[in-house]
Homo-oligomer: A and B are copies of this chain.
């Protein structure tokens, strides 16, 4: 029975969420309700969702192909054409029903269609629940560069319904866990310890606490000037590793969480070398990560390609890579410059 109030919209967790959504539709008198799904959420989530939606408005389904590889502008053009052909106008509502690809891409599509229509996010994976529910980041990839194109835009409402989690794979649950670990390490070590000790783990509570943390961070620093940068912990190297696997045709892709987990181990190592994080704590991070994720040794010959991808990180200025590192758990430092040989050392540390 809980709601978190984000900057301009509510994140609903309770049973009555769908009643509130139906009311939103009624009160705003939308002309058409578009629902964006992929083939997986179409099969597994849509049948759970649609009986809850009480409205006499026209409903139109738009399905895109699942996968990060499709989180691009070509897919956006397809969705924009579909909305146009289905007679979408400025009073249309777009409901996104899916993981991060659907919610990020859908938010971007809605925000740019006829200079912006309303949208509602219903994340169906653990990752999108804990990561995309607040913050207003929408966007798509440009080539292998993650979220290179996008904008800040807020939905009218978010519904976090953990019953959708029964529709996803254990690997996807693990992918979302990486973000929860991040919230723990940077902001609430109690949360991290819960995962480390592997007890009292009610997923519902972990999700709620994660959204609560992210919301506190975003409200204090919406434009990512300072505090919000902690949300990038593990993501600087993590994104580069994720992009590298995405563009390597002979390698199986990593999930976002798998890449970010490696990134957190490496960046904890950097934190210990450059700042005050103790070696013991670095080892704890590595142990917890390896207790959840398979070891994915990074090949020596790939190091330079990964380092090269760092130069496209969105936090960079004047060609300088800016890391967010930890003085200690729950204590961060932004805009850290790291010598290239130390970055490589951090990947070797992960491999050891």
Q: Which residue of B lies closest to A149 (CB)?
A: B112
Assess whether A84 is in contact with B116, with CB atoms less than 8 Å apart: no
The tally of residues in A whose CB lies under 8 Å from a CB in B reads: 36
Q: Does A81 contact B (CB under 8 A)?
A: yes
Assess whether A87 is in contact with B139, with CB atoms less than 8 Å apart: no
Residues in B whose Cβ lies below 8 Å from that of A148? 80, 84, 113-114
Checking B89, B151, B312, B319 against A115 with a beta-carbon cut-off of 8 angstroms, the contacting residue is B151
> Chain B nearest CB: distance from A323 CB in Å?
15
A135-166 contact mask (Cβ, 8 Å, vs B): 1 or 0: 00101001101011111100000000000000
Which residues of chain A (303-317) have a CB below 8 Å from chain B?
Answer: 311-312, 314-317
Residues in B whose Cβ lies below 8 Å from that of A318? 31, 89, 91
Assess whether A149 is in contact with B314, with CB atoms less than 8 Å apart: no
CA distance A318 to B92 in the complex (A): 9
CA distance A115 to B142 in the complex (A): 12
Q: Does A90 contact B (CB under 8 A)?
A: yes
Residues in B whose Cβ lies below 8 Å from that of A90? 314-317
Checking B87, B89, B115, B319 against A152 with a beta-carbon cut-off of 8 angstroms, the contacting residue is B115
> Chain B nearest CB: distance from A83 CB in Å?
9
Residues in B whose Cβ lies below 8 Å from that of A150? 112, 114-115
Q: Does A175 contact B (CB under 8 A)?
A: no
Checking B114, B137, B316 against A314 with a beta-carbon cut-off of 8 angstroms, the contacting residue is B114
> Given A90-B317, A317-B91 in contact, is the A152-B116 Cβ separation under 8 Å?
yes
CA distance A76 to B80 in the complex (A): 15
**Copy count, this protein chain:** 2
Residues in B whose Cβ lies below 8 Å from that of A113? 148-149
A58-98 contact mask (Cβ, 8 Å, vs B): 1 or 0: 00000000000000010011001100100101110000000
Checking B81, B145, B149, B319 against A87 with a beta-carbon cut-off of 8 angstroms, the contacting residue is B319
Assess whether B137 is in contact with A115, with CB atoms less than 8 Å apart: yes
Q: Which residue of B lies closest to A108 (CB)?
A: B112
Residues in B whose Cβ lies below 8 Å from that of A137? 115
Assess whether A142 is in contact with B80, with CB atoms less than 8 Å apart: yes
A211-240 contact mask (Cβ, 8 Å, vs B): 1 or 0: 000000000000000000000000000000
> Given A116-B152, A317-B31, A318-B31 in contact, is the A143-B81 Cβ separation under 8 Å?
yes
Closest 6 CB pairs of A and B: A31-B318, A114-B314, A91-B317, A89-B316, A112-B149, A115-B150
Binding site for B on A (CB under 8 A): 31, 73, 76-77, 80-81, 84, 87, 89-91, 111-116, 137, 139, 142-143, 145, 147-152, 311-312, 314-319
Apart from A73-B77, A80-B149, A115-B151, 10 more pairs, CB < 8 Å: A73-B73, A81-B142, A84-B148, A87-B319, A112-B150, A112-B151, A115-B147, A115-B150, A115-B152, A116-B152
List 20 interface pairs A-B (beta carbons < 8 Å), by A numbering: A31-B318, A73-B76, A77-B142, A81-B142, A84-B142, A84-B148, A87-B311, A89-B314, A89-B319, A90-B314, A90-B317, A91-B317, A112-B151, A113-B149, A114-B148, A114-B150, A115-B139, A115-B150, A115-B151, A116-B152
